Structure 1
Amino acid sequence: MIDNNYTTADEAVKCIKPGNRVFIHGSAATPVCLVRAMQKRHHELYDVELVSITTLGEVNFNRPEHRKSFYFNSLFVSAATRAVANSEDGDYVPIFLSQIPQLFRRNILTIDVALIQVSPPDAHGYCSLGTSVDVARAAVQMAKHIIAQVNPLMPRTHGDGYVHISQINALVWHSAELPEVDYSTDVSDAVKKIGYNVASLIEDGATLQLGIGSIPDQVLFNLTTHKNLGLHTEMFSDGVMPLIERGIINNSQKKLNTGHSVTSFITGTRKLYDFVNDNPGIRVMDISYVNDTSIIRQNPKVAAINSAIEIDLTGQICSDSIGTYQYSGIGGQMDFIHGASLSEGGKPIIALPSQTNKGISRIVPFLKEGAGVVTTRGHVHWVVTEYGMVDLFGKSLKQRAQALIEIAHPNHREMLENSFFRRFEKA
């Protein structure tokens, strides 16, 4: 660290002006100290639009005094932004994760200031975007002013995430542990069974894409006897580490990035962050590449594993909202579901518990009023619950409904059968 090149967070964020649009680096790379410094200026700021995907760490966007100054336009709603995104002081942009960089690069959303978190510069002056290259690379390329939290605990990752210090307008040295997420705790019997069911669909030599949560980690737990698996996924979590270390994931069968695991952002525990640090076997790349359907389809036997909030009897998938309440976002589900369907031997998979923790069926006659359809019934193939697996591809509306009823929770099958009769069998 060269002290003369660094300033304080409070000093760095003075460049933010009323009416600016500010990008916030997301996930484990959320620059908490910069966000807090910006929030401290709320009394002198107004009409500042914040854009980001998932944010983690101790940042609160739901304070009344902040709402008067900041408008949060979320590109993917997370716990930290959910309340604001569903209020008059925020909103949500429905968009495929793969296309968010287009918003920046085409100046549809011009970025005045980008708040990012990076590793310390190397001997050549290059920092790394570390755990989250995703949409941040495009934001950095297009931002008029870049403020970087330089954190020695941020792993230096290989791939697309290098940023030279000459591109950065203000450097703030701040050492802080990255936010950690552990999906392996408190796993229900239903999730364990789902993980087993999904794993049984995956063949040797498959290329894996896994979404967020406990189900993907349980799938990985059940792949220990598989061989020559590849990894091309938007998100990378702790569950892949044992499979890489044991050579089960070796990426030997992939057509693109052979021998390398590819991801766009990394979220997990400190053990994972240390694992990816300076690891040439892992490439963290721009989301417009990782989630590009034309890229995904080139790898063999792509198994895309994603989840849902609910699915109706025709196969429509809602995975971003509960009725009109925006819960998360479109993300990369459609990017990979469609990409996997075009891959030779690919399997697009939607995996979900048959009912909620409150005993409400996730397989429903109709989606809730106002719910968003993320994956259309024309794109859905495999659906997996703890009660079984069905492939809806090529099935008629009636056949789909009957198949989904078979894997619904037994407590709800009679209700679903009655709905089926009213819809399809009435004279």
Structure 2
Amino acid sequence: MLETIKSKELINEKYITIDDALGLIKSGDVIVSGLASAEPREILRNLHKIADKVNDITVTTCLPMEMAEYFINPEYKDIFKMDGWFYTAAMRKGHKNGNISFIPNHLHLAAIKRMNHRKTNIYIGTATPPDKHGYLSLSLSNVYEKRMMKEADLIILEINKNYPRTFGDVEIHINDVNYVIETDYEVPELVDVEPNEKDLLIGKFIASRINDGDCIQLGIGGIPNAVAASLMDKKDLGIHTEMFTTGMMKLIKAGVINGKKKNFYNGKHIAAFALGTKELYDFIDDNPSIMIMDGYWTNDPYIIGQNDNQVSINTTIEIDLTGQCASESIGTMQFSGTGGQADTAIGAQISKNGRSFIALYSTTMVKNKETGEREEISKIVPFLKPGAAVSLSRNDVDMVVTEYGVAELKGTTIRERVQRLIDIAHPKFREELLKKAKELDLVY
């Protein structure tokens, strides 16, 4: 009881209001915000209110979910800048204002490289209320959060009883936090995307190459969800992943994933952050089998490769006939980010019996600039759109999957790659792709 009283006393000493927190921000500050659902919603929603008092504020963030006025509204574009490690719809919407820019990165090195470039003055994020010993849990993300907190001059956390208490490397003592703001909003959710027919076909192709006892990594979206749904007949799977998902939770509940075959942290499910539904958050709350670890360690390809039979499953926007993957931009337009794609794809291939999958639909619908009509185009292309970022080098691609099959590229020549990728392209584009490949001297 005495420890509980002391904990309450400690937190009361740190408590401030939103207005107090905003008053601590000064011109020229560089602020780092928690990732995705670890964002401090109330601070970000009110940040624009100090626009008449400050200037040259930079907010560095990753996978932001909040459509905050400070970067969405062009009225504030000369006051606030946003630098992002991973774009979302919110950032794409605000990008046209001219005050948002992308930070190229491999996610496991994002914090370290950023710290080498810019000093962080303020860290803002979310946490659970402290336990009787005075420890808060950072809850849903430690991709870079704890490292940035160590560097920051000032740490402000929104504590929220609705956030799940998680374990791993997410604990921080109240003594190491400057200020806290008590909040009570619901944890932001990522809606579980229902797989479509193409997703399910791709999911089955990938699932057929996953064996009992494999250790898996999954990303975001319909294709990863379809893969998860296709794994229900597997046994003794493990998790070492960047993102802990609702699909993974379902596999654990079904007994498919237990982590018993992992080489280290046997029986534990390792991730750098969690994002999904309320059911997921309820599942990971006070669940010692889920470990949210430092993204620098979790996503290190060498660490990933220490698990035998590691399987990486990611998606891409476009792939050329030599295997270059543009997974984050459409031409010069930044769409998302590299994230951990290269980290996990390379790590899986370091692993004994490891495999890496890159999945995409064979086609997509786009608007023809000349006619204004929507038309179907191939996502397997002779060359990437001008200015497209190569998220995964052709040197690091293993298997590519569409709804038409699997192309094994590891160790292959350009000539072999061209033919194998054409074989999994949409049939109506295969002849044209071969013709273009010959014109480019990729094949003869």
Q: Considering the TM-score relative to the shorter chain, is it more than 0.5?
A: yes
Question: In the alignment, which residue of structure 1 is the partner of 2:371?
Answer: none
The secondary structure found in structure 1 opposite 2:44 is helix
Matches within 5 A, 1:300-339: 300-339=308-347
Structure 2 unmatched ranges of 5 or more: 1-7, 367-375
Task: Name the CA shift for 1:229/1:426 in 2 (closer, same or farther; >3 Å).
Answer: closer
Q: Name the structure 2 match of 1:217.
A: 225
Equivalent residue in structure 2 for 1:184, among 182, 193, 217: 193
User: Match for residue 100 of structure 2?
Assistant: 90
Distance of aligned partners of 1:77 and 1:426 in 2 relative to their CA distance in 1, 3 Å threshold: closer
**Counterpart of 2:363 in 1: which secondary structure?**
coil
Correspondence for 1:70 among 74, 80, 92: 80
- Is the contact made by 2:35 and 2:141 (CA closer than 8 Å) also made in structure 1? yes
Render the CA deviation track for 1:153-190: whole Å, top value 9, x for unaligned.
Answer: 111100011111111111100110011112333x3211
CA separation in 1, counterparts of 2:280 and 2:67?
A: 20
> 1:421, CA displacement in angstroms?
2.3
Query: Given that residues 126 and 165 in structure 1 are in contact (C-alpha distance below 8 angstroms), is that contact kept between their aligned partners in structure 2?
Result: yes
Unaligned runs of 5+ in 1: none
Preserved contact between residue 414 and residue 442 of structure 2 (Cα < 8 Å): no
Whole-angstrom CA distance in 1 between matches of 2:253 and 2:399: 29
The equivalent residue for 1:390 is 407
Which amino acid in structure 1 is aligned with residue 404 of structure 2? Y
User: Is structure 2 residue 137 aligned with structure 1 residue 128?
Assistant: yes
In structure 1, distance between residues paired with 2:198 and 2:254 = 27
Describe the SS at the equivalent of 1:304: strand
**Residues 86 and 324 of structure 1, relative CA distance in 2, 3 Å threshold:** farther
**Aligned AA (2:268):** H
How far apart, CA to CA, are the structure 1 residues paired with 2:157 and 2:252? Answer: 32
Paired position in structure 2 for 1:204: 212
Residues 284-316 of structure 1: per-residue CA shift (max 9 Å, x gap): 011001001111001011110001010000000
CA distance in 1, matches of 2:305, 2:13: 48
* Residue identity matched to 2:170: G
Q: What is the deviation of 1:422?
A: 1.5
How many residue pairs get matched? 425
Larger CA deviation: 242-251 vs 393-402: 242-251
Aligned counterpart in structure 1 of residue 21 of structure 2, from 12, 19, 28: 12
One-letter amino acid of the counterpart of residue 403, structure 2: E
Higher mean C-alpha displacement, 221-230 vs 349-358: 349-358
- In the alignment, which residue of structure 1 is the partner of 2:55? 46
Supply the AA of the counterpart residue of 1:139: M
Report whether the alignment pairs 1:114 with 2:123. Answer: yes
| Aligned alpha-carbon RMSD (Å) | 1.5
Aligned equivalents of 2:76 and 2:45: distance in 1? 11
Task: Find the counterpart in structure 2 of residue 227 from structure 1.
Answer: 235
* Alpha-carbon distance in structure 1 between the residues aligned to 2:393 and 2:116: 29
**Could you say what secondary structure the match of 1:219 adopts?**
helix
1:245 corresponds, among 244, 253, 262, to: 253
Aligned twin of 1:346: 354
1:134 is paired with a residue whose SS is: coil
The alignment's TM-score, normalised by the length of structure 2, stands at: 0.93
What is the one-letter code of the residue matched to 1:37? N
What is the CA-CA distance between 1:57 and the residue it aligns to? 3.3
Deviation string 1:178-231 (CA, Å, 9 cap, x unpaired) is 11112333x321111111111111111111011111111110101111111110
The secondary structure found in structure 1 opposite 2:395 is coil
Give distance in 1, aligned partners of 2:260 and 2:246: 21
Equivalent residue number for residue 420 of structure 2: 403
- Preserved contact between residue 128 and residue 136 of structure 2 (Cα < 8 Å): yes
User: Structure 2: how far apart are the matches of 1:69 and 1:133?
Assistant: 29
1:292-345 superposed Cα distances (whole Å, 9 cap, x missing partner): 111100101111000101000000001011101111111100001111111011
Q: Aligned pair 1:81/2:91, yes or no?
A: yes
**1:357 CA drift (Å):** 3.9
Give the Å deviation of 1:68: 1.8
- For 2:137, give the aligned amino acid: S
Structure 2 contact 346–396 (Cα < 8 Å) conserved: yes
Shift of 1:37: 2.4
SS in 1 for 2:223: helix
Contact 2:189 2:276 in 1 (8 A): yes
Partner of 2:5: none
2:300 is matched with which residue: 292, 296, 301?
292
Q: Which residue of 2 is the match for residue 150 of structure 1?
A: 159
Deviation at 1:3, TM superposition (A): 5.2
Determine helix, strand or coil for the equivalent of 1:424.
Answer: coil
Structure-2 residue corresponding to 1:28: 37
Q: Which moved more, 1:301-310 or 1:356-365?
A: 356-365
Letter paired with 1:78? T
Is the 1:74–1:85 Cα contact (8 Å) retained in structure 2? no
1:264 Cα deviation after fit: 0.7
SS of corresponding position for 2:338: coil
Displacement, 1:86?
Answer: 5.6
- Indicate conservation of the 8 Å contact 1:10/1:38, yes or no: no
Whole-Å separation in 2 of the counterparts to 1:334 and 1:352: 16
More divergent stretch after superposition (95-104 vs 374-383):
95-104
Alignment partner of 1:102 is 2:102: no
Q: Partner letter of residue 381 of structure 1?
A: D
Q: Indicate the residue corresponding to 2:433 in structure 1.
A: 416
Deviation, 1:23, is 0.5
Query: How far does residue 4 in structure 1 lie from its aligned partner after superposition?
Result: 5.6
Contact 1:341 1:348 in 2 (8 A): yes
